[in-house]
């Protein structure tokens, strides 16, 4: 467990009072760094991580040639990774809770927030699965539309990840959805 950091208010106070001091740069960095060090694990609320990242970005903007620049960039990157992991785990949680519509929205939000994430392949597959499960649980009059979305999500997945390890599983959802759509059309004729 991390030791409590008591010096971040002191660093901020020093910086705000003595902005022209030769130590102001270090004080502002230490303030931002102390926020980062005291931020919790990814599984907890990340408000303080966001504050740390914002404080570090402010530091970089103010002191672009600082001797602390590399550390500041590393802090921002590390915090991004933590926020990305939080988003990934939250998105998967909706699927685990069988809240399929929320899972699909969460997968889309994750993709918007983290377009270069290493988790996109898995979440794109899980979006196909979630839509299939959502269609299965739907009223009969809504199933055709919802199974059609499975087909659409499958094509998006295959286009973006043609060599994915999840292709075979995604194909099963796709084939089952096409069969369900054809069966629904036959029954409605």
Cα(150)–Cα(156) distance, integer angstroms:
10
Q: How confident is the model at residue 34 (pLDDT cuts 50, 70, 90)?
A: confident
State the pLDDT at residue 3. 45
Q: Where are the alpha helices (DSSP H) in the chain?
A: 8-17, 24-37, 47-62, 69-96, 100-113, 120-136, 140-160, 167-188
Q: What is the mean pLDDT of residues 25-49?
A: 86
The predicted model scores a pTM of 0.80
Q: If one looks up domain 1-96 in CATH, what number appears?
A: 1.25.40.10
Residue given tokens 């998006």 in the structure block: 156
Q: 141-178: b or e for each residue (b if 16 or more CB lie within 10 Å)? A: eebbebbbbbbebbeebbeebeebebbeebeebbeebe
Cα(111)–Cα(31) distance, integer angstroms:
32
State the pLDDT at residue 163. 96
Q: How confident is the model at residue 157 (pLDDT cuts 50, 70, 90)?
A: very high
């Amino acid at each position: 467990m991390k030791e409590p950091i008591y010096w971040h208010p002191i660093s901020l106070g020093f910086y705000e009072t003595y902005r022209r001091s030769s130590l102001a740069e270090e004080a502002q960095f230490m303030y931002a760094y102390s926020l980062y060090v005291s931020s919790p694990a990814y599984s907890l609320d990340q408000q303080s991580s966001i504050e740390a990242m914002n404080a570090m970005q402010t530091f970089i903007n103010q002191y672009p040639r600082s001797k602390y620049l590399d550390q500041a960039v590393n802090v921002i990157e590390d915090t991004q990774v933590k926020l990305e992991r939080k988003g990934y785990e939250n998105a998967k949680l909706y699927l685990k809770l069988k809240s399929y519509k929320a899972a699909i929205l969460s997968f889309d939000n994750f993709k918007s927030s983290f377009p270069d994430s290493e988790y996109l392949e898995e979440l794109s597959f899980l979006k196909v699965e979630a839509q299939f499960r959502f269609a299965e649980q739907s009223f009969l009059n809504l199933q055709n539309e919802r199974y059609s979305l499975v087909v659409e999500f499958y094509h998006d997945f295959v286009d973006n990840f043609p060599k994915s390890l999840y292709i075979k599983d995604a194909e099963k959802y796709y084939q089952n959805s096409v069969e369900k759509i054809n069966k629904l059309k036959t029954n409605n004729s």
